[in-house]
Protein backbone atom coordinates (compact mmCIF):
# COMPACT_ATOMS: atom_id res chain seq x y z
CA UNK A 1 0.00 0.00 0.00
CA UNK A 2 2.78 2.42 0.86
CA UNK A 3 4.59 1.73 -2.41
CA UNK A 4 1.47 2.73 -4.35
CA UNK A 5 1.30 6.03 -2.50
CA UNK A 6 5.02 6.62 -3.08
CA UNK A 7 4.59 5.78 -6.77
CA UNK A 8 1.71 8.22 -7.09
CA UNK A 9 3.66 10.97 -5.40
CA UNK A 10 6.75 10.26 -7.51
CA UNK A 11 4.78 10.47 -10.73
CA UNK A 12 2.70 13.46 -9.67
CA UNK A 13 5.59 15.53 -8.40
CA UNK A 14 7.85 14.32 -11.18
CA UNK A 15 5.42 15.56 -13.83
CA UNK A 16 5.10 19.07 -12.43
CA UNK A 17 8.57 20.20 -13.53
CA UNK A 18 8.41 19.00 -17.13
CA UNK A 19 4.85 20.32 -17.45
CA UNK A 20 5.83 23.80 -16.37
CA UNK A 21 9.04 23.66 -18.40
CA UNK A 22 7.25 22.60 -21.58
CA UNK A 23 4.64 25.31 -21.12
CA UNK A 24 7.26 28.01 -20.72
CA UNK A 25 9.28 26.66 -23.67
CA UNK A 26 6.30 26.66 -26.02
CA UNK A 27 5.27 30.11 -24.86
CA UNK A 28 8.70 31.62 -25.43
CA UNK A 29 9.16 29.89 -28.80
CA UNK A 30 5.82 31.20 -30.05
CA UNK A 31 6.67 34.66 -28.73
CA UNK A 32 10.02 34.57 -30.55
CA UNK A 33 8.38 33.42 -33.78
CA UNK A 34 5.76 36.14 -33.46
CA UNK A 35 8.45 38.80 -33.17
CA UNK A 36 10.73 37.40 -35.89
CA UNK A 37 9.12 34.82 -38.20
CA UNK A 38 12.25 34.55 -40.35
CA UNK A 39 14.17 33.01 -37.43
CA UNK A 40 12.07 29.83 -37.40
CA UNK A 41 14.97 27.74 -38.70
CA UNK A 42 17.31 28.97 -35.97
CA UNK A 43 14.72 28.46 -33.24
CA UNK A 44 13.49 25.00 -34.27
CA UNK A 45 16.48 22.79 -33.39
CA UNK A 46 17.17 24.21 -29.89
CA UNK A 47 13.42 24.18 -29.20
CA UNK A 48 13.04 20.49 -30.10
CA UNK A 49 16.19 19.60 -28.12
CA UNK A 50 14.89 21.44 -25.05
CA UNK A 51 11.50 19.74 -25.28
CA UNK A 52 13.15 16.33 -25.56
CA UNK A 53 15.30 16.95 -22.49
CA UNK A 54 12.33 18.19 -20.46
CA UNK A 55 10.24 15.22 -21.53
CA UNK A 56 13.01 12.83 -20.48
CA UNK A 57 12.63 14.02 -16.90
CA UNK A 58 8.96 13.04 -16.96
CA UNK A 59 9.88 9.63 -18.35
CA UNK A 60 12.41 9.15 -15.53
CA UNK A 61 9.64 9.88 -13.03
CA UNK A 62 7.45 7.29 -14.75
CA UNK A 63 10.22 4.68 -14.55
CA UNK A 64 10.77 5.40 -10.85
CA UNK A 65 7.07 5.12 -10.10
CA UNK A 66 6.82 1.80 -11.98
CA UNK A 67 9.83 0.51 -10.06
CA UNK A 68 8.16 1.51 -6.81
CA UNK A 69 4.99 -0.34 -7.75
CA UNK A 70 6.50 -3.59 -9.00
CA UNK A 71 9.80 -3.93 -7.11
CA UNK A 72 9.03 -2.47 -3.68
CA UNK A 73 5.86 -4.53 -3.27
- Domains of the chain, by residue range, sit at 2-70
**What is the pLDDT at residue 63?**
93
**What is the pLDDT at residue 50?**
87
pTM to 2 decimal places? 0.74
Whole-angstrom distance, CA of residue 41 vs CA of residue 27: 17
User: pLDDT, tens digit, for every residue of 54-64?
Assistant: 889 989 999 99
* Residue of 57, 66, 67 lying closest to 13 (CA atoms): 57
Contacts of 19 (CB under 8 A, 6+ apart): 58
Provide the residue-wise pLDDT of the chain in tens; the chain has 73 residues: 688 898 889 899 989 988 898 899 889 989 998 999 898 888 888 889 988 888 899 899 999 999 988 987 6
CATH code matching the domain that covers 2-70, chosen among 3.40.50.300, 3.40.50.2300, 1.20.20.10, 1.10.10.10:
1.20.20.10
Amino acid sequence: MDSNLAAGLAMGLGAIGPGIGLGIAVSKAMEALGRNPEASGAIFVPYILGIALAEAIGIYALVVSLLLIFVAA
